[in-house]
């Protein structure tokens, strides 16, 4: 796989770099560059990220960070069985429970929500930091919804973290999941309230809460470049397009899943 010239390998986290020190220098540099590419592409080009992760795995499968990266790349491509195997391998190497929530979500992806719920009640959850515990709660609620237990999903999301006015990295996603569950249960008024709260907490646009809120409020977005509204001035419009050198580009940003 080609590596862009601007990628040096130094971009990786210092803890990962330390793990790679167990490898010969040249090999460590090659692995680091492939891991950088995984991180760079995983959101916009998951298939590309997966390809680079396979290279890293071929070069250094005994490094926990490489197995973890391979797991996330497989997960991004909905290869849940493969992702789970990589996460389990990484966990055996490190002894950390950090990957427990995403492992449980892989069980959901494999059609085993009951297993995900079992994991939500396991001792490993108590070893997670606050962010990990919130993530586990989101996975457990998703598993309840998979099983058709909508009311139980709503109760699962009701927590001190949900009620808190403090905004944390997970706040927007937690409020969004709660609003979505309420809406699915037909509790539209409450859902609107929580979508609004999700918007307040969503400082980096990690959810589409604003779109969902607008939809509930009956707001319609009209494309200003819709050709169907040209009317009698269609000929003049064509002339302007030609003088501008081509079609205008429309960029939309959408959010990724639980």
CA–CA separation, 195 vs 206, rounded Å?
Answer: 13
Confidence (pLDDT) at 219: 79
Confidence (pLDDT) at 1: 84
- The predicted model scores a pTM of 0.81
Instruction: HSE, CB side, 13 Å, CA atoms: give it for residue 76.
Output: 22
The structure tokens 């449980």 sit at 104
CB atoms within 10 A of CB 133: 19
Confidence (pLDDT) at 199: 95
The structure tokens 């397009």 sit at 241
Residue by residue, pLDDT tens for the chain (258 residues) are 899 999 999 999 999 999 999 999 999 999 999 999 999 999 999 999 999 999 999 999 999 999 999 999 999 999 999 999 999 999 999 999 999 999 999 999 999 999 999 999 999 999 999 999 999 999 999 999 999 999 999 999 999 999 999 999 999 999 999 999 999 999 999 999 999 999 999 988 889 999 999 999 887 656 555 555 554 444 444 443 433 433 333 333 334 444
Could you give the 3-state DSSP secondary structure of residue 235? helix
CA torsion, ordered 195, 201, 206, 210, to nearest 10 deg: 40
Q: Is the separation of the CB atoms in 63 and 31 below 8 Å?
A: yes
The structure tokens 């989101």 sit at 138
Q: Which of 51, 46, 40 is nearest to 2 (CA)?
A: 51
Q: Is the separation of the CB atoms in 159 and 137 below 8 Å?
A: yes
């Amino acid at each position: 796989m080609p590596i862009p010239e601007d990628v040096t390998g130094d971009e990786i986290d210092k803890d990962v770099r330390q793990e790679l020190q167990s490898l010969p220098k040249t090999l460590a540099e090659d692995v680091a560059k492939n891991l950088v590419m995984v991180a760079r592409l995983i959101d916009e080009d998951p298939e590309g990220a997966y390809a680079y992760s396979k290279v890293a795995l071929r070069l250094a499968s005994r490094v926990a960070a490489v197995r973890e990266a391979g797991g996330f790349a497989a997960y991004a491509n909905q290869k849940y069985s493969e992702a789970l195997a990589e996460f389990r391998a990484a966990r055996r190497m490190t002894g950390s429970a950090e990957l427990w929530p995403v492992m449980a979500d892989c069980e959901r992806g494999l059609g085993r929500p009951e297993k995900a719920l079992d994991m939500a009640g396991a001792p490993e959850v108590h070893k997670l930091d606050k962010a990990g515990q919130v993530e586990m709660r989101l996975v457990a609620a998703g598993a309840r919804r998979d099983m058709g237990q909508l009311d139980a999903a709503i109760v699962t999301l009701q927590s001190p973290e949900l009620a808190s006015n403090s905004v944390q990295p997970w706040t927007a996603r937690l409020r969004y999941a709660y609003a979505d569950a309420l809406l699915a249960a037909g509790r539209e008024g409450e859902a609107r309230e929580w979508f609004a709260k999700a918007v307040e907490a969503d400082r980096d646009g990690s959810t589409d809460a604003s779109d969902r809120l607008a939809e509930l409020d009956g707001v319609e977005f009209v494309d200003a470049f819709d050709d169907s509204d040209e009317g009698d001035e269609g000929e003049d419009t064509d002339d302007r397009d030609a003088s501008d050198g081509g079609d205008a580009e429309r960029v939309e940003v959408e959010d990724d899943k639980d």
